Structure 1
């Protein structure tokens, strides 16, 4: 959040807020606040309908506060308004974090849907391969069954042939005894 926005929340002038921050500089490391560059400020101010460039001296670039810096300001600006404001700011930052977290959710859903589609395709391929194996196995089992039936039929024919009298000069063994 920019210094002017936080100053408005706390009900103080931006100049006074920046003075308090400069007096307590050791409480505001780089991960709590930083000063915008000229390029960053021109980019941000171009997005405002009406910029407050007139109120801010041209040499002075605004400070940006992180969630931690905004909370630290409540200890620097000790007042009931500061306490209430720090609670509101905390809630605002939490809402922003949740919004950013959930903004990536649709991308995750799309990714999961794509992975699910790929898994379904793989399962369908495996099932098709399994059906092919089952059909070929069934055909092989049918061939084995047919071969066994033919073998059994030929054996029964062999048994009837053994009971027949041999043709030719061979005498049956029954006559010899």
Structure 2
């Protein structure tokens, strides 16, 4: 699968990058109901740090924020499962079809690309901060120099008292 398509299905929930069960089911070409059944049968493979069920509030918030969710799911009363990267990897042991294996590989690549993008972003942000600090210091120095020049020019333009003999008029 195309990385961009997968990356668009990665959400940030509870401080984790996760994929939701209905997106995974679509990619694996299985029904969401069947995916959830397999997960429940193998729940010991998926501890809460790898997979969790969204609360009603989290689901409503996600529906309000995301335009890309399917319309038939927006008003669903069933809350989806959210799988962290490692949880998606564990799904390959639960779903053993050739399609699931290939899709899983693509999903892992998308998570890696997303992580690399985030690292590149933080590095760029740090460089930008350094640049702003250096530029700000340079502008302060230029401002001080201009202030000194302006005060010197002011002194030069003041009328001076004449030295020597001044004849009364």
8 Å contact 1:45–1:51 — kept in the other structure? no
* Residue aligned with 2:71, SS: coil
1:12 aligns with 2:56: no
Structure 1 residues 53 and 121: CA distance shift in structure 2, 3 A = closer
Q: What is aligned with 2:72? A: 52
Kindly name which structure, 1 or 2, has the bigger radius of gyration based on alpha carbons.
1
Structure 1 residues 40 and 82: CA distance shift in structure 2, 3 A = same
Structure 1 residues 5 and 20: CA distance shift in structure 2, 3 A = same
**Count, aligned residues:** 123
Q: Distance in 2 between matches of 1:77 and 1:27?
A: 12
More strand as a share of residues: 2
Q: What is aligned with 1:31? A: 49
When normalised by structure 2's length, the TM-score is: 0.63
What do residues 64-108 of structure 1 show as CA deviations (whole Å, max 9, x unaligned)? 111101111111111211110110010111111122222333421
Q: What is aligned with 1:80? A: 98
| Match for residue 90 of structure 1 among 95, 100, 108 | 108
Q: What is aligned with 2:132? A: 114
Q: Which runs of 5+ in 1 are unaligned?
A: 125-177
Greater RCO between the two (CA within 8 Å, min separation 6)? 2
* Residue aligned with 1:53, SS: helix
Structure 1 residues 45 and 118: CA distance shift in structure 2, 3 A = closer
